[in-house]
Structure 1
Amino acid sequence: MDGNAHIEGPGRDPDETTPDLVGDRAGDGPDAVDPAGDRSDSVDPAGDRADSIDPAGDDDGVDSADDGADDVDPVGDDDDLNLDASLAALSRLSTGRLTLEDLLVQVAEFAVRAIPGADGAGLTLLEPNREDIIVKSTEFVRQIDDIQYRLGEGPCISAAAEGLTMRSGSLGGDPRWPRFGPRAGRLGVHSVLSLPLLTPSGVVGAMNVYAHARNAFDVRAEQLGQLFAAPAAITVHNAQILAQTARLAEQLQAALTTRPMIDQAIGILRARGGIESPEAFARLRHLSQTEHVKLSVVAERIVEEAVRRARARATPPR
């Protein structure tokens, strides 16, 4: 045998080539690296891995299409902005430059802006010992409120009496106001939100917000309405106190002007009837109540009559 002779292994093909370590091998072991393969610790630039960075800018690994928890509702934003604008306008109202009724109208108009879904609003201010003041932001509100107060039944009356918010999305079928509701529905007004105006002194009135659509006011609208009604009540109450103070000042001024006239009339009655001052004043007051005129008017008439008589006696006959 040749010492340089090639020894073949059993079953080995002498023409078989050496295996290609770079090629594709069906028998690759666990340590083999396939450059085109998929390994759990490889980074696929086009793949979706929990710790990969989304090129669209969502670096928390959550698909931006599914990231709804942090989305901002543009409608809610608009509602908040409208409420903020209305509250800012409310804070700028000047009670010194507006009459009480003009200020109430402004508050009603701000309420329409603050509460989503509103088509119009009215405001009722309870006046002790005086007729209540009722204003509206638009004409159809006047028609609805006229029905309400004529019947003595409706959401505003209930809100003011109970101090609670009243909400309805179908007035025509609301059992709380069986006479008012159907009449409002026939005028095309189906939704209402009535908010009591609450102060530390109690209920000073109520604000009615109306809409033609059914179910126009949801829980969110009610919440926004209550947020607006709280400072609105303070503004309205302050304006009411200022108006009452102005009326009292006018009455005091009138009393200073008319008091001398009343004293003169008392003196004339005393001279005519030989009576004391309290009785003379009681007669004067009785005349005022019987004739339904002010005490000062009765007193002025008595004094002028006495002056005419005195002049007639002092004038010599011709």
Structure 2
Amino acid sequence: MSDPVSAVARDLAEIGRLVDDDDLDTALSRYIDRVVTTVPGCDHAAITVRTEHGPQPVATNLPAAVTENSHRPTVAVGPIGEVLAHREPRYLGDTRVDERWPAYSALLRRAGLRSCLALPLPANRTRSAAFSLYSRTPAQFDSASHDLILLFTLHAGSTFDNVSTYHHCRSLVTHLEAALDNRTTIGRAQGLLMRHHDTSTDDAFDHLRTISQRHNTKLRDIATQLVTAQDNGKFASVLSTLTSAPTSPSPS
């Protein structure tokens, strides 16, 4: 029979493949659930990133009362905030007696949590991230669970990097698709103006820009109006309205 750490490692590898297959919600949810069911005494877990607005959970099964208040300034200076700022581990052994982070300890106490271990994620990113475990039992997460916690921490860094890369790529693709759509629409509008006025590409673009400035409206929105009008058989009338309408006042 294989040892528990090896079994967990195989399961984490499977979760990593889910990330590769773009099933991100399932991957993160299974990851957090696996932490809670495997690490002795762990009742909740979270992955948190540092943002300009303070610590922001990106994966968590913490009670809503904790996550909804974790961005408050008095709470953000707690152990999670320090891990994100200094990339060093922090351990809150008992929320009833620890006096280092009173606001954060009080927040956890109200949720019935007594101890917290927060570790920096060893991963490649510009923004720091933290992996935190929570227990209803004080002085939890001792040396007996060290190997499991270390394994989860190392894998959390890899998983979070994969998720971050995926979201970055998706965002980039979305922006590129929008840019291509805008370029296509503007190109179609130029073609319509060239045919309507029997003019050059540059003159058609200047005409679009003039209308855009006249109406204080983005160029792509003017182009969309003209293309839609053409599709509805109303190009000439819409163009006439846009061309002859008075100049809109610029926003103050």
SS in 1 for 2:133: strand
Q: Distance in 2 between matches of 1:303 and 1:215?
A: 64
Instruction: Say which of 204, 220, 230 aligns to 2:144.
Output: 220
Call closer, same or farther: CA 1:97–1:133 in 2, change over 3 Å: farther
The match for 1:92 is 14
Q: Distance in 1 between matches of 2:148 and 2:127?
A: 19
Instruction: Say which of 119, 122, 133 aligns to 2:46.
Output: 122
Instruction: Say which of 35, 44, 55 aligns to 1:111.
Output: 35
Instruction: Say which of 288, 311, 317 aligns to 2:237.
Output: 311
- Verify the 8 A CA contact 1:197 1:230 in the aligned structure 2: yes
Call closer, same or farther: CA 1:301–1:209 in 2, change over 3 Å: same
2:113 is aligned with 1:194: no
- Verify the 8 A CA contact 2:57 2:67 in the aligned structure 1: no
Deviation of 1:208 (Å): 1.6
Q: How does 1:55-204 map to 2 (within 5 A)?
A: 81=4, 83-93=5-15, 94-125=18-49, 132=56, 134-137=58-61, 140=63, 142-150=64-72, 151-201=75-125, 204=128
Alignment deviations for residues 214-247 of structure 1 (CA, whole Å, 9 cap, x no partner)? 1122233345312321122112202321221122
SS in 2 for 1:121: strand
Q: How does 1:216-295 map to 2 (within 5 A)?
A: 216-262=140-186, 264=189, 267-272=206-211
Aligned partner of 1:311: which letter?
S
Aligned partner of 1:89: which letter?
D
More helix by percentage: 2
Deviation of 1:205 (Å): 1.6
Q: Which one scores higher on RCO, CA 8 angstroms, separation ≥ 6?
A: 2
SS in 1 for 2:59: strand
Q: Distance in 1 between matches of 2:22 and 2:154?
A: 21
Deviation of 1:212 (Å): 0.7
SS in 1 for 2:69: helix
Q: Distance in 1 between matches of 2:115 and 2:132?
A: 10
The match for 1:301 is 221
Deviation of 1:157 (Å): 2.1
4+ runs deviating over 4 angstroms = 125-129, 200-204, 262-266, 304-309, 312-315
Q: Percent identity?
A: 23
Gaps of 5+ in 2: 191-204, 242-252
Gaps of 5+ in 1: 1-76, 274-279, 289-297
Aligned partner of 1:302: which letter?
I
- Verify the 8 A CA contact 2:49 2:84 in the aligned structure 1: no
Of the structure 1 ranges 239-248 and 301-310, higher mean CA displacement relative to structure 2 is found in 301-310
Deviation of 1:125 (Å): 4.2
What TM-score results when the alignment is normalised by the length of structure 2?
Answer: 0.69
The match for 1:4 is none
Alignment deviations for residues 145-171 of structure 1 (CA, whole Å, 9 cap, x no partner)? 332223323322222222112212212
What TM-score results when the alignment is normalised by the length of structure 1?
Answer: 0.56
Q: Distance in 2 between matches of 1:165 and 1:304?
A: 54
Aligned partner of 2:10: which letter?
A
SS in 2 for 1:207: strand
Structure of greater Rg: 1
Deviation of 1:211 (Å): 0.7
Deviation of 1:299 (Å): 3.4
Q: Distance in 1 between matches of 2:98 and 2:154?
A: 27
Deviation of 1:107 (Å): 1.9
